[in-house]
Every structure is written in structure tokens, then in C-alpha cells.
Structure 1
């Protein structure tokens, strides 16, 4: 979770200067400062998984 933007994503790259995250729906990655990134709570993880499942489901209708 990028606490500066409120966006959730999958960590792709970690350096001392930035963390690169990618949205769960395979959108464009973005960079965030390491101090602004935290692990998702169990509730946030579930919410993200449901959102992805809903998006995938809509694509195949």
C-alpha cells in the first residue's frame, strides 16, 4: 500500500531510494518512497482480490 496515494499494488522492485509497485490489474507501475509503503492488512488483501476477480469476470462476459 502506497500511503501517499492510497493505491494498492504488488511490489516489483525495492531499492534504497524507491519501491516500484504494480496495480493488481496489471496497469502501469509507479514508484513510491520506501517510508510510504506498508503491507496490506488482511481486509485490504481480501478487498483487492475481490476487485481483481470482479474485473476478470467482467472481461469474459
Structure 2
């Protein structure tokens, strides 16, 4: 038996739930946001939102974030709800 400590291997591509390429994601290990660029060899490749050097992350460390369209729509509905509440006199 080998007494060396084994390094934990990334999940095989069939074991991970893949985020689509182009999706905004959060690397929880590095506390960084990035865009999913690729899935290779059990890793997720991410690039910073504004461009820059890509990095790899384990799939279990990557969480999906709302994409720009979803964020904009969420903000729009929040503004509409606030405007409606203001018109009813519920908020200033």
C-alpha cells in the first residue's frame, strides 16, 4: 500500500450538472464571479465578467448566478413593485 496522501480528483464530466457556457457563475472557493467558458477534464473553466485570465474550478464549487437579462428583469419588477407601493402611500 502506498502511504502517500491522495489528492482529491475532480468529478468526471458525467457526474456533474453542467452550467451552460456563457452563464454567469460564482466560484465559492475563490469568492470570484465569472462566465462559464468550457467544461474540460472534470473542471469548469471560468473567465472574469469583464474579461481577463481564465481559471478552473471544481464543479461543486461553482454556483449559477442570474444572467444579465434575468437580473435586469428582476430589478425592473422590483422598481415596479416599489412604484406601485409608493402610489398606494405605503412607502415614501
Q: TM exceeds 0.5? A: yes
Give the gaps of 5 or more residues in structure 2: 1-25, 72-92
* Bigger relative contact order (CA 8 A; separation at least 6): 1
Q: If each structure's helix is expressed as a fraction of its own residues, which one has the higher value?
A: 1
Separation in 2 of the partners of 1:19 and 1:4? 13
Q: CA RMSD for the aligned pairs?
A: 1.9
Q: If each structure's strand is expressed as a fraction of its own residues, which one has the higher value?
A: 2
Taking structure 1 as the reference length, the TM-score comes to 0.62
Computing the radius of gyration from Cα coordinates, the structure with the larger value is: 2
What count of residue pairs does the alignment treat as equivalent? 44
